Amino acid sequence: MSISTPGGENRPGLVKVGGKPAAGAKPGTKTTTGGTGGKTPPKSGGPRKPITPIKVNQGRNWGPIAMFVAVGVIAVGIIGWGAWAAFKPGGAGYDWETRAGGISGINHVTTELKSNHTYNPEKYEQSPPVGGTHSYVWQQCMGNVYDAPIPNEHAVHSLEHGAVWITYRSDLPADQVAALAAKVEGKEMMLMSPVVNLDKPISLQAWSYQLKVDNASDSRIDDFIGALRVNATQEPGAVCSGGNTATGDKPLTEEQVAALQQQQQG
Amino acid sequence: MTDVGNSPRFSTRGLALSVALALLVGLAIGFGVSRLAAPSTPADDSAAAGFARDMSTHHAQAVAMGMIAAKKGLAPEVRTLGEDIALTQQGQIGIMSQWLRDWSLNLNSSAKPMAWMPDGDKSALNGNLMPGMATPQEMTALENASGKTVDTLFLEMMIKHHLGGVHMVDAVLTATDDPDVLWLAKGMKTRQTLEISEMQKLQTTLAKR
């Protein structure tokens, strides 16, 4: 590639080849100076055809190369910056919803789940429930392992706070109950209780999510806890301490809650 | 120079372009490197992330204890201390949770509690319970206590809890250089060390009351 300007004989970068005689030297005429004309005169007579100058690149044309390289560097820089902005860690948080959605067999309830408070017993769409109107008081979910059924109305309040509630059918073998309890004990935002007429041996609940499995060794249990514990909260920053620790099948009445609070006040 | 034609114009224009190009490349590299290096955040298996998760669990139990003491401690000092500890540590849980969000890490991990600790002090683990943490039975006893027993149990349990907490703080102080983590961890250590001696004095005072 070459960008040339008309420059005639003096144009730098061009060299003429072909032994043009020095100005004034007539071809075919012997000169005494022994100059460019040489000692061998051309055989043909008459005026010689002018020889077209041949361009020879002396080095490269740096201008255009530099321009293209610069444009390339800028383009790469822009692409790099964009890629970094798109993939940089930080600020976006952990994508727990995608992780939860990828668990085989998980049920995500996308219809509206109410968060109202009540003292009344509630009927729930799902069994065990994964959300909806619930008791004023949450069930304590500081890694509590309850050995008897707990009222749904309290457990749903725990789900709202971000807890994962492990339930199991009352006939689940003791070793499997122990394996589940090991995932719960000492871990806040976890609670566990038996459910009498559960349709599957084990059912896991988080707010708006449910997974039913047959065995405590199912690896999806850890996947469910990992994706949803705390992350599924409807009240970021909420706690699991305090609350109700009693088991039973009916939620605490207004009077019972008052009595519980009296006891908690000492 | 044999190359007559290449002399004056190349050196001016070519030099200018070379310099500009060098600057651009330099800028691009510098820019890229600084962007890549500056916001590097703790990894999922780092001590900082492990600390944020485990200390949140550890703190959650202190909040539970503190709330019990705040509600039904007999001595006013115990009530005040319980309230102070509960609110402070709940706030610190919020700070640590936000770190994990900022680092795009999950609050949950399949790693065992204290797996991040460099000294490998796993012997202090009791199930999922980290150093100083009360058992469910101890927590139930505190919940069901009344009167002076609340003060006694709370002070015993919280001194032990703080000692375990400071032990974990010491571990992260040697294992991370994240400025936010260092800041909060140092704050925890200073405060909890102070509270330990305060509670020990309070035990003596209350024994005579």
Q: Establish if A27 belongs to a structural domain.
A: no
B49 touches chain A (CB under 8 A): no
B149 touches chain A (CB under 8 A): no
Claim to verify: residue A101 and residue A201 sit in the same structural domain:
yes
Q: Establish if A118 belongs to a structural domain.
A: yes
Residues of B in contact with A73 (CB under 8 A): 21, 24-25, 28
Claim to verify: residue A82 and residue A158 sit in the same structural domain:
no
Residues of B in contact with A143 (CB under 8 A): 128, 136
Cα A127 to Cα A117, A211, B111, distances in angstroms: 19, 11, 31
What are A108's strand-pairing partners?
A: A209
Q: Establish if A161 belongs to a structural domain.
A: yes
CB contact under 8 A, A96 and B4: no
pLDDT of res. A1? 46
pLDDT of res. B28? 72
Claim to verify: residue A78 and residue A157 sit in the same structural domain:
no
Q: Taking chain A (266 residues) in consecutive chunks of 10 residues, what is each chunk's mean pLDDT? A: 48 50 47 47 60 70 84 80 60 86 98 96 97 98 98 98 98 98 96 96 98 98 98 97 96 96 89
CB contact under 8 A, B128 and A187: yes
Q: Establish if A39 belongs to a structural domain.
A: no
Mean pLDDT along residues B171-196:
97
d(CA B17, CA A66) in angstroms, rounded, equals 6
CB contact under 8 A, B103 and A90: yes
CA distance A173 to chain B (A): 21
CA distance A237 to chain B (A): 6
Mean pLDDT along residues B38-54:
91
A231 touches chain B (CB under 8 A): yes
Residues of A in contact with B14 (CB under 8 A): 62-63, 66
d(CA A72, CA A80) in angstroms, rounded, equals 12
pLDDT of res. B38? 59
Map out the domains of chain B as residue ranges.
4-37, 47-208
Claim to verify: residue A223 and residue A127 sit in the same structural domain:
yes
Claim to verify: residue A116 and residue A232 sit in the same structural domain:
yes
pLDDT of res. A25? 46
pLDDT of res. A84? 64
Q: List the helix and strand counts (H, then E) for chain B.
A: 7, 0
Claim to verify: residue A83 and residue A196 sit in the same structural domain:
no
pLDDT of res. A85? 60
Mean pLDDT along residues B149-156:
98
Claim to verify: residue A89 and residue A206 sit in the same structural domain:
no
According to DSSP, the β-strands at A134-135 and A107-108 are unpaired
Q: Give the DSSP per-residue string, A129-167.
A: --SSSEESSPBP-EEEE-SS---HHHHHHHHHHT-EEEE
A79 touches chain B (CB under 8 A): no
CB contact under 8 A, A239 and B14: no
Domain that holds residue A188: 97-265
Q: Which residues contact A33 (CB under 8 A, 6 or more apart)?
A: none
Q: Establish if A166 belongs to a structural domain.
A: yes
Which residue has better confidence, B87 or A59? B87
**A77 burial class (0-12, 13-18, 19+ CB within 10 angstroms)?**
middle
Claim to verify: residue A256 and residue A207 sit in the same structural domain:
yes
- Look at chain A and report how many structural domains it folds into: 2
Claim to verify: residue A253 and residue A134 sit in the same structural domain:
yes
b/e per residue B6-36 (b: at least 16 CB within 10 A):
beeebeeebeebeeebeebeeebeeeeeeee
Element (H, E) at B95: helix B76-102
B58-97 residues touching A, CB cutoff 8 A: 60-61, 63-64, 67-68, 71-74, 90, 93-94, 97
Helical axes B76-102 vs B47-72, angle rounded to 10°: 150
pLDDT of res. B22? 77
Claim to verify: residue A73 and residue A194 sit in the same structural domain:
no
Mean pLDDT along residues B187-205:
98
CB contact under 8 A, A230 and B90: no
Residues of B in contact with A229 (CB under 8 A): 107-108
Claim to verify: residue A85 and residue A198 sit in the same structural domain:
no
Predicted confidence band at B122 (pLDDT cuts at 50, 70, 90)? low
Q: Which CATH superfamily is domain B47-208 in?
A: Ferritin, core subunit, four-helix bundle (1.20.1260.10)
A8 touches chain B (CB under 8 A): no
pLDDT at residue B18 greater than cutoff 90: no
pLDDT at residue B26 greater than cutoff 60: yes
Q: Where are the alpha helices (DSSP H) in chain A?
A: 62-87, 96-101, 152-161, 174-182, 220-228, 254-265
CA distance B134 to chain A (A): 9
Average pLDDT, chain B: 90
B120 touches chain A (CB under 8 A): no
Task: Give me A147's structure tokens.
Answer: 């050995």
Residues of A in contact with B28 (CB under 8 A): 73-74, 76-77, 80
**Which runs of E-coded beta strand occur in B22-156?**
none
Q: Establish if A3 belongs to a structural domain.
A: no
pLDDT of res. A35? 45
Residue type, B10: F
Q: Establish if A49 belongs to a structural domain.
A: no
pLDDT at residue B154 greater than cutoff 90: yes
Q: Establish if A110 belongs to a structural domain.
A: yes
Claim to verify: residue A89 and residue A102 sit in the same structural domain:
no
B83 contacts B149 by C-beta, under 8 angstroms:
no
Give the 3-state secondary structure of B136-197. Answer: HHHHHHHHHCCCHHHHHHHHHHHHHHHHHHHHHHHHHHHHCCCHHHHHHHHHHHHHHHHHHH
d(CA A190, CA A141) in angstroms, rounded, equals 5
A43 touches chain B (CB under 8 A): no
Task: Give me B14's structure tokens.
Answer: 């070519």
Element (H, E) at A206: strand A202-206
